[in-house]
Chains A and B, each alone.
Chain A
Amino acid sequence: MKTRSVIVSLTVLCLSAPVLADDDCDDPVTDWQPREHLRQKLEAEGWTVYRIKVDDGCYEVKGLAPEGFGAEASFAPATLELMELEREDDDEDEEDDEDEDNGEYGYRDNRGDGQARDKAQTNRPVPHNGIVKGRPTVTVE
């Protein structure tokens, strides 16, 4: 009786695993192009590629987008189609259950004028840690 229930449980678990895995890409592995093809494609488009890894069935790329901002992007391994692009400083759009920081404001990254200013400086809360007076001014060059 115990053995049967264990077998049944394991079977159910194995069958349910693909459903629970929630892969972002589902290209059959036999159709995948080599990572080097993706690197060449992106570099030809103007990317600086730091690294490519496999994540949830997709190729996940970290690097500098042609526009100059840091980015993390997912590509379908077979078609090399862009699935998702996340800017390095676009954290507020990412769902993160562990992130307890709400109401953050981020930078608008370099737009070619050599400088980026925190677009929401006036909306940032006034610090009250007893060290910093008033709101800091922040730029990234």
Chain B
Amino acid sequence: MKKILLALGLALSVALPALAQAREVTFTTELTDYRGDGAYLALYLTDASGAYQGTLWVAGRKSKYYKHLRGWARGSRLDPAEYDGLTGASITSGRTLKITLDLDDALIDSGYEVRVDTAVEDMRDNRADVAVPLTTGGAGTPVPGRGYVRSFRYDF
């Protein structure tokens, strides 16, 4: 009997992680017509106190400029493992970046925040150009940024 229970426990401990639900989320970032070079953006998660939790996407492929995305750079320590497979080109003034990815349900309605740092060469850097809680209720609501982001929203 003990052996059966042990086997069952082991099986459950392996199966339960696989049962964790993931949800498709689309992040839409519209930039203003700021009349400058392509903008570098870092979309990332923080906890309620602002501590870095993980990278969602980095727009801009010259890593030497990543230090200008200050909040994200500090939290990720610019460790390539944090953004491997999550990079693309910088975004031109006035354009809209749409990213669709799968996130664990556990990250939603749990006090996590989505932040967007932005930077443009020879112009100002914006730490937390956008900072919004990641919640079911917040989905679909556009919010203005403080710098180069005209509007940001996420949808499930």
User: Is the Cβ of A70 less than 8 Å from the Cβ of B92?
Assistant: yes
Q: How far is the CA of A140 from the CA of B55 in the complex (A)?
A: 19
User: Is the Cβ of A91 less than 8 Å from the Cβ of B101?
Assistant: no
Q: How far is the CA of A23 from the CA of B118 in the complex (A)?
A: 33
Given contacts A91-B62, A99-B63, contact A133 B85 (CB under 8 A): no
User: Is the Cβ of A50 less than 8 Å from the Cβ of B36?
Assistant: yes
The contact string, 1 if C-beta is below 8 Å from chain B, for chain A 113-141, is 00000100000111111111111111111
User: Is the Cβ of A135 less than 8 Å from the Cβ of B64?
Assistant: no
> Looking across the interface, which residue of chain A has its beta carbon closest to that of B79?
A129
The one of B45, B97, B102 in contact with A133, judged by C-beta atoms closer than 8 angstroms, is B102
User: Is the Cβ of A131 less than 8 Å from the Cβ of B95?
Assistant: no
Contacts of B38 in A (CB 8 A): 70, 88-89
**B-side interface residues, number (CB < 8 Å):** 40
User: Is the Cβ of B98 less than 8 Å from the Cβ of A138?
Assistant: yes
Q: Is B86 an interface residue (CB 8 A)?
A: yes
Q: How far is the CA of A126 from the CA of B45 in the complex (A)?
A: 19
Q: How large is the interface on A (under 10, 10 to 19, 20 to 34, 35 or more residues)?
A: 35 or more
The one of A50, A88, A100, A139 in contact with B63, judged by C-beta atoms closer than 8 angstroms, is A100
Given contacts A88-B90, A101-B61, contact A132 B84 (CB under 8 A): no
Given contacts A88-B92, A96-B62, contact A138 B57 (CB under 8 A): yes
Q: How far is the CA of A79 from the CA of B141 in the complex (A)?
A: 52
The one of A129, A133, A141 in contact with B84, judged by C-beta atoms closer than 8 angstroms, is A129
Q: How far is the CA of A91 from the CA of B85 in the complex (A)?
A: 16
Show 26 residue pairs from A and B whose CB-CB distance is below 8 angstroms, ordered by the A residue.
A50-B37, A62-B37, A69-B92, A88-B38, A89-B38, A89-B90, A91-B62, A91-B89, A99-B64, A104-B87, A107-B88, A109-B92, A110-B95, A129-B55, A129-B82, A129-B86, A132-B56, A136-B86, A136-B99, A136-B101, A137-B101, A138-B99, A138-B100, A140-B95, A140-B98, A141-B98
Measuring CB to CB, which residues of chain A are less than 8 angstroms from any residue of chain B? 50, 62, 64, 69-70, 88-89, 91-92, 96, 98-101, 104-107, 109-110, 118, 124-141
* For the complex of A and B, 8 pairs with smallest distance between CB atoms: A131-B54, A89-B89, A136-B101, A125-B85, A127-B85, A133-B102, A101-B63, A106-B89
